[in-house]
Homo-oligomer: A and B are copies of this chain.
Amino acid sequence: MLLQAAGALSSLRILTPLMISNGGLRFASSTAAGVVDKIGFVGLGAMGHRMAKHLLDSGKALVVYDSNRFAIDRLLEDAGAAAASGGSGTVEPARSPADLAETRGVSVVFTMLPGAMAARKAYLGADGLLAASGGVVPRVMVDCTTLDPPTARELEGRVRSTRINTALAGPPVPGLAAESPALLDAPVTGGIVGADKGTLSFLVGGEEAALPFVEPLLRSMGNRVIWCGDAGDAQAARLCNTLVMAATMAATAEAMALARRLGVDPWVITRVLNSGSGRSWVSQEYNPVPGINTDAPASQGYRNGLRSAQVVEHLAMALTAADKCHSPVPVCRNTLKLFNKVVEDGLGDQDFSSVYRYVYGSGSSNNEWRSGEQIFNSTH
């Protein structure tokens, strides 16, 4: 699925099933045939690099920026390799986000940054996207960074109040303002593995008219697009998902450690959980006990997953949001406390399922882990 030139937007519209919302089927439109425009990408870290590579592999002309020159070089190498094997995708480095946003033909910019501070800098900094002289060329910006909802809403407002450089920009996107760009917040779930395999889920919020314009691109990087509502709503949904995921992981790890101490085989307790009310994505696909799910990080030394340090960061963000609206989250708050201990214990760079190592302690395959008794005796 190619993103077609904005100029061809009205020529031929193809309706494709986008998603099932409450009881109804909605349709997104895309256009066929036309000039291939350019896609901007800011933030080429572990996630961004993999996502940009999917765009490259699907033949896109990318204009990219990262504060780390090596990250740009890595993608340039990918582009060289792709070209050598007949690929039509290209990579053009920009000197800054502002430079990128001034580049003729850039119709969409994706940003995938490590957090709120980096995202603010990329959008609002002295050489940020919105500092493009003469206005910005891209009509739609898509921020895939995981952010707190207020920051997402603030960025959306700032983008909306920026002017389009109409001399260099493509024609207006139907349904969007002609003089100012739109920002969608589009945080992802699925982690590095999902980014690698192109199986990310994008949670998207903001001006809905912008979605059809970018959805084919999202679908070349992921396999699910869930519309969440207004600006910030996708970030809110993303944080709520993290709360549930982390608490379920913690409880499952605690229960499986307890089962093992009570003499119950991990396979048996997994079967019991999965047979009914204890079932979850954690117990079925991401089991924290090594050997149960061969593809899960637990079976690979707790490597190549979602780092506990990052879970802590996102949980803290979610709890801040909960505090601001006075929403009680006692179990999730305790989950953050547990993952904080996991990180303090030196497991921050391991996959977050290593919380099982923490609660099961020396009973696990690695004898160097302290036993649960030693860790917790003083605190409960």
- Which residues from chain A sit less than 8 Å from chain B, CB to CB? 21-22, 149, 189-190, 201, 203, 224, 226-230, 232-233, 236-245, 247-248, 250-252, 254-259, 261-265, 267-269, 271-273, 275-283, 286, 318, 321-322, 325-335, 337-338, 359, 371-373, 375-377, 379-380
B264→A229 contact, CB < 8 A: yes
> Would you list 19 pairs from A and B whose C-beta atoms are within 8 A, ordered by A residue?
A22-B267, A236-B259, A240-B264, A240-B272, A241-B278, A243-B251, A244-B248, A244-B252, A244-B273, A251-B331, A261-B325, A326-B372, A326-B377, A328-B372, A328-B376, A329-B359, A330-B337, A330-B338, A330-B376
* Interchain nearest-CB distance for A289 vs B (Å): 12
Most buried by B among A22, A227, A275, A283: A275
Given contacts A241-B276, A283-B244, contact A233 B263 (CB under 8 A): yes
Given contacts A224-B275, A243-B254, A258-B243, contact A248 B330 (CB under 8 A): no
B262→A325 contact, CB < 8 A: yes
> Which B residues are in CB contact (< 8 Å) with A377?
326
> Which B residues are in CB contact (< 8 Å) with A371?
326
B380→A241 contact, CB < 8 A: no
Closest-by-CB residue of B relative to A258 is: B327
* Interchain nearest-CB distance for A338 vs B (Å): 5
Given contacts A233-B264, A236-B259, A325-B261, contact A250 B248 (CB under 8 A): no
Complex alpha-carbon distance, A203 and B275, angstroms: 10
Given contacts A201-B275, A276-B189, contact A258 B149 (CB under 8 A): no
Complex alpha-carbon distance, A50 and B247, angstroms: 34
* Interchain nearest-CB distance for A17 vs B (Å): 15
B272→A228 contact, CB < 8 A: yes
> Which B residues are in CB contact (< 8 Å) with A245?
277-278
Complex alpha-carbon distance, A240 and B272, angstroms: 9
A233-B263, A331-B334 are known; give 13 further A-B pairs, CB within 8 A. Answer: A189-B276, A226-B275, A229-B268, A241-B269, A247-B331, A250-B330, A258-B322, A261-B326, A326-B377, A327-B359, A328-B380, A330-B376, A331-B335
> Which B residues are in CB contact (< 8 Å) with A271?
226
B273→A241 contact, CB < 8 A: yes
Closest-by-CB residue of B relative to A194 is: B276
B280→A327 contact, CB < 8 A: no
> Which B residues are in CB contact (< 8 Å) with A269?
237, 240-241
Q: Give which listed residue, B224, B227, B244, contacts A278 with CB less than 8 A.
A: B244
Given contacts A22-B267, A272-B228, contact A244 B240 (CB under 8 A): no
Complex alpha-carbon distance, A241 and B279, angstroms: 9
Complex alpha-carbon distance, A239 and B228, angstroms: 37
> Which B residues are in CB contact (< 8 Å) with A228?
264, 268, 272
